Structure 1
Amino acid sequence: MDSKPEKDVDASSVSSASPARYEFYDPSKESIWTRLGLTVESFKRAPGTTGGQVVAGGNNVKDLERVLADAPMLQQKMKPRHLQMIAVGGSIGTGLFVGSGGALRLGGPAGVLIAWILIGIMLINVTQAIGEMSILYPVSGGFYTLAVRFLDPSFAFAMGWNYVFQWAVVLPLEITVAGTTVQYWGEHIMPIAGWITIFWILITIVCVFGTLGFAEEEFWSSCLKLLVVVMFIFIGIICICGGGPTGGEYDSYIGGRNWSNPGAFANGFKGVCAVFVTAAFSFAGTELVGLAASETPNPRETMPAAVKGTFWRITIIYISSLTIIGLLLPYDEPRLLGGSGANASPFVIALDKARIYGLNHFVNVTICISVLSIGLSCVYAGSRTLCALAETGYAPKLFTYVDKSSRPLPAVICILAFGPLAYVNVKAEGDVVFKWLLALSGLSTLFTWLAICLCHIRFRRAWKVQGHSVEELPFRALGGTYGSWFGVILIILVLISQFYIALWPIGGMNPDPKVVAEDFFASYLAFPVMILFYGIGYAWKRTLPQRAHEIDLDTGRKSWLTVQEMREYRAERKTAPLHIRVYRMLFTN
């Protein structure tokens, strides 16, 4: 799984045989204020791409595609620390801090651990797969663009639009959760509509700074989230052992008491099935490292560390904290049953029960910041995918606009425009509207991960058929195609389990057929919508998957090392001291 500085093919030399002439736009020549997005000039369209544009002559389409792939429209502003923290803490938010409470209520502590561990193992394989492909092809649009190439443009069209709508709908959800989180300190401070307005404006302001604003916010918020979770794990261990403050519920040893009474499983097999989608939602956004690869100066150096960071986040952050939660709280805790927002967060509930005054407020502040962080991820992921859809002809050409500060401006505005949907929650009827909006994107994360695994399988097949060796790859997925097949099978099983729960929900089927149908589509609407989008994409472009020997493996490819060169490089690395080799294996490339 080593990566090596590759032999890049100079974009201008690729087309030397053709009469085309390329002029390169260098954003570094702009003022620092323009690059930060703080001048009127920064909102003007960047000429061509940030790498080059055709200015005269030439009709070699293949050469043009290679130049565009070698010079993505989005500037490479992310630093290694940004990418690593996005991978480690980027998706820690509502799913872990709040959603885990509902999962504990439905599945019990054992059900929660089973679901999170299985989804976590699958996700490790997904990130390994996307790491392998993104390092070789750090193209704009990430996994969507790879799906167009390795799978089928019609399927990629469906997956891409589903991904855009997923983040567009999650944005107002996160803004609403942020508002309810603040109301933990009292509903009289300000109406929920006021908080929604404030948080939407804050997200919009950060988006003005483009990629750098998102990256910096993610870095510092991820640091805070990791600090709080690690701190909670240590406090939780002390409380479980009976070291909590006198007068609290954890001033005596509790051990595994809550696993015995009320028990490890809340609703048996159904409870475990019901928790899978919550677990998947909590990991949503992990795939963002694939989108960010094209905005990182040297993904061969930074992506392996980011990919490996996913393993540590899953094992240390998620599994450890959820184990602590399952030991501290019984699944029939009343506040889990009736609370909402921060009031239902098992982290806050546990600290309240321990009577550790002040820390619960600190955790609640962290939850609020985490929610806003995920809101920014919504704008980042949705806008970049929408821009890529436009670049491939599957969205209006307007969305290909990228300004001099590297903001896909129309795409960003489009996603931000969904933010005011949060206001529907001000009225009681808004719950119904929001229910169906969320239903449209409820399974989108699973479809995205499925596409990544299938892309990797098809890529490896084409790589082999066209005479390449896996030894040429600068980074190899830990599980190879076996890991991707494991991901495909597990995702299908999760979809089946969700279908099962949608038809036979916990608590029994409602006698009213209308309610049964409504509950089913509320859980499974994203599946027929995905099929509908595929049908639209096929009717529009009439495309079919290419055979393995027809797949283009050269356009946008960054590494052209031979097997012998890679063998020499890896042999040289094996001569490093043991402690350095161990460090590289666990944390870096």
Structure 2
Amino acid sequence: MIGIGGSIGTGLFIGSGLALANGGPAAVVLCFVIIGFMLFNVCMALAELSVVFPISGSFAAHSSRFLDPAWGFAMGWNYGMGGLLTMPLELTAAGLVINYWTTSINAAVWITIFLIALLIINLFGVRGYGEIEFFMSLIKVIAIIGFIILGIVLIFGGGPHHEYLGGRYWRSPGAFANGFKGVCSVFVIAAFSFSGTELVGLAAAETDNPGKTIPAATKQVFWRISLFYVVSLTIIGCLVPYTSKRLLSGSSSFDATASPFVIAIEDAGIKILPSIFNAVILCAVLSVGNASIYGTSRTLCALAENGQAPKIFSYIDRKGRPISAVILSMLFGLIAYINCTKAGSVVFKWLLALGGLSTFFTWSSICACHIMFRLAWKVQGHTLDELAFKAPFGIWGSCFGLLLNILCLITEFYLAVCPLNSSSSAEAFFQAYLAAPIILTFYIVWKIWKRTPFMRPSTIDLDTGRRLFDKQKMINEQTTKPRY
């Protein structure tokens, strides 16, 4: 449920509306399928690495081990900054979602309430986080399945208006909008919408049996998310035309009134249900904020353990909680109060730009680490039969994932230079691409200061932290059905 909770959020419920308006229904389905297959290879590579090396803060640690310690430093802080800034973003988004029902209460009140709630949840450690994430994810899963059933009924004329829709909106106004640039825009939105799935890898160090649970969880998360995204968005394309002004009429990218799910239900003439779905969106927002605290605190802890962050963040209490890192994550949540001022939105946009490309760099590094791991595994005399879990498409799947992530970065650069619905400007470019030069600066500074070596397959350490498995026992555990 950690992967589901971290992935199904505002990207699906609200951001998909922007994707539909920019590219049209066909572009939405096409791009989400392509990104979904890319994510499959990323997840499988991560699962293989996490089973062999179930360590805390897997992204940074793996990059330091298999690529370059300087790149691991850059990736760790890249992911950490992205997570630290996600927290205030989701708190702000939660306040905006509440505005669907009432605007009489200042957003600062809701930010305070949600901030305290998330602090209490994370003080219970991984168990408290996992329990809350399970129920929040369950609510989202039930809501999406319910919407899929409702959507099919509405498409075939079973709604209050008894109007058969079929594929009407795919023919008029059409399947694609804004041509090639529109497809590129959807490509990037789809990738951002899937972000958070990699959180499964961070949980490897805190599971009792990573060899069994991580591969199973990774596979299930991918298929469930792909099914929910692709099927629900296909239905959205049949219920809401991409020319609908309401898709872009929200006050921000987190305004629930611009959610295509809410728009589809309201256009069908169904009462009360839009408010229920808005409550689901609120759960999704808080779930992503909760996941960001978990992911960021574990990443900062791993960086500190590797000497790449202040030592205080490596402190773990008796219950296994990285308290110092959790407290820092919560303190960053206070940034959300900036949005209560008139100039706050401008400052907030620049803060978010710092972690804007975090997802692409993280996924690229996972694929590159898997490629180097496989090469080192072979060069140092090991065979694939020794691995407890193997990525289905092997090294070629990671090559494809790496290539597609690089393509996403190129596409984002193209859109930063030539925005879809606005003129080119230095401000628009840096708000979209500021993270890239910052990551390169982190890498170069650490590289020069520490003079870190580039990793080679023949010299990569494959022993430290490696968990040894009884492979036959694992196979038996994975093929034996549990008794209830």
Contact 1:113–1:319 (CA under 8 A) maintained in structure 2: yes
Deviations 1:389-432 (A, max 9, x none): 00000001111111112111111111111111111112231111
After TM superposition, list the pairs within 5 Å mapping 1:417-456 onto structure 2. Answer: 417-456=331-370
What is the CA-CA distance between 1:89 and the residue it aligns to?
4.1
What is the CA-CA distance between 1:560 and the residue it aligns to?
5.3
What is the CA-CA distance between 1:102 and the residue it aligns to?
1.2
SS at match of 1:478: coil
SS at match of 2:99: helix
The aligned counterpart of 2:155 is 240
Task: Tell me the number of residue pairs that the alignment of Structure 1 and Structure 2 aligns.
Answer: 479
What is the CA-CA distance between 1:276 and the residue it aligns to?
2.3
**Whole-angstrom CA distance in 2 between matches of 1:260 and 1:428:** 43
Q: What code does the residue aligned with 2:395 have? A: T
The one of 267, 282, 293 aligned to 1:379: 293
The aligned counterpart of 1:255 is 166
**Whole-angstrom CA distance in 2 between matches of 1:106 and 1:223:** 30
What is the CA-CA distance between 1:261 and the residue it aligns to?
1.5
Contact 1:87–1:309 (CA under 8 A) maintained in structure 2: no
The one of 505, 529, 549 aligned to 2:419: 505
The aligned counterpart of 2:454 is 545
The aligned counterpart of 1:151 is 67
Find out whether 1:366 has 2:280 as its counterpart.
yes
Over the matched positions of the two proteins, sequence identity in percent amounts to 53
What is the CA-CA distance between 1:365 and the residue it aligns to?
0.7
Deviations 1:125-149 (A, max 9, x none): 0110010111111112212211111
The aligned counterpart of 2:16 is 100
Contact 2:188–2:411 (CA under 8 A) maintained in structure 1: no
The aligned counterpart of 1:529 is 438
Deviations 1:29-86 (A, max 9, x none): xxxxxxxxxxxxxxxxxxxxxxxxxxxxxxxxxxxxxxxxxxxxxxxxxxxxxxxx22
What is the CA-CA distance between 1:362 and the residue it aligns to?
1.2
The aligned counterpart of 2:186 is 275
The aligned counterpart of 2:257 is 343
Find out whether 1:299 has 2:210 as its counterpart.
yes
Q: CA RMSD in A?
A: 1.8
The aligned counterpart of 2:315 is 401
What is the CA-CA distance between 1:282 and the residue it aligns to?
1.4
What is the CA-CA distance between 1:90 and the residue it aligns to?
3.4
Deviations 1:225-281 (A, max 9, x none): 0000000001001101111113xxxx2111111111111112111011112222122
Distance 1:229 1:485, change over 3 A: same
After TM superposition, list the pairs within 5 Å mapping 1:168-187 onto structure 2. Answer: 168-187=84-103
The one of 484, 496, 502 aligned to 2:410: 496
Contact 2:2–2:291 (CA under 8 A) maintained in structure 1: no
Contact 1:88–1:309 (CA under 8 A) maintained in structure 2: no
Q: What code does the residue aligned with 2:178 have? A: N
Structure 2 runs not aligned, ≥5 long: none
The one of 139, 142, 150 aligned to 1:224: 139
SS at match of 2:202: helix
Distance 1:89 1:414, change over 3 A: closer
The one of 400, 412, 427 aligned to 2:326: 412
The aligned counterpart of 1:164 is 80
Deviations 1:459-480 (A, max 9, x none): 0000000011111111000110
**Whole-angstrom CA distance in 1 between matches of 2:59 and 2:388:** 18
SS at match of 2:412: helix
Deviations 1:482-536 (A, max 9, x none): 11000111011111111111111114634xxxxx111111111111111011012
**Whole-angstrom CA distance in 1 between matches of 2:437 and 2:6:** 30
What is the CA-CA distance between 1:87 and the residue it aligns to?
2.9
**Whole-angstrom CA distance in 1 between matches of 2:263 and 2:336:** 26
Contact 1:89–1:313 (CA under 8 A) maintained in structure 2: no
The aligned counterpart of 1:86 is 2
Q: What code does the residue aligned with 1:298 have? A: N
Larger-gyration structure (1/2): 1
After TM superposition, list the pairs within 5 Å mapping 1:50-89 onto structure 2. Answer: 85-89=1-5
SS at match of 2:354: helix
Contact 2:5–2:284 (CA under 8 A) maintained in structure 1: no
The one of 358, 374, 395 aligned to 1:481: 395
SS at match of 2:71: helix
Distance 1:158 1:569, change over 3 A: closer
Q: What code does the residue aligned with 2:158 have? A: G
What is the CA-CA distance between 1:540 and the residue it aligns to?
2.5
**Whole-angstrom CA distance in 2 between matches of 1:95 and 1:232:** 16
The aligned counterpart of 2:116 is 201
**Whole-angstrom CA distance in 1 between matches of 2:4 and 2:123:** 25
The aligned counterpart of 2:234 is 323
SS at match of 1:441: coil
Contact 2:211–2:474 (CA under 8 A) maintained in structure 1: no
**Whole-angstrom CA distance in 1 between matches of 2:211 and 2:56:** 16
**Whole-angstrom CA distance in 1 between matches of 2:238 and 2:4:** 25
The aligned counterpart of 1:56 is none
Q: What code does the residue aligned with 1:522 have? A: Q
Q: TM-score, normalised by structure 2?
A: 0.96
**Whole-angstrom CA distance in 2 between matches of 1:536 and 1:211:** 34
Contact 1:89–1:226 (CA under 8 A) maintained in structure 2: no
The one of 378, 381, 387 aligned to 1:467: 381
* Structure 1 ranges of 4+ moved more than 6 A: none
Contact 2:69–2:452 (CA under 8 A) maintained in structure 1: yes
Q: TM-score, normalised by structure 1?
A: 0.79
The one of 217, 220, 235 aligned to 1:309: 220
Contact 2:388–2:469 (CA under 8 A) maintained in structure 1: no
The aligned counterpart of 1:289 is 200
**Whole-angstrom CA distance in 2 between matches of 1:202 and 1:526:** 30
The aligned counterpart of 1:75 is none
What is the CA-CA distance between 1:334 and the residue it aligns to?
1.5
What is the CA-CA distance between 1:569 and the residue it aligns to?
8.1
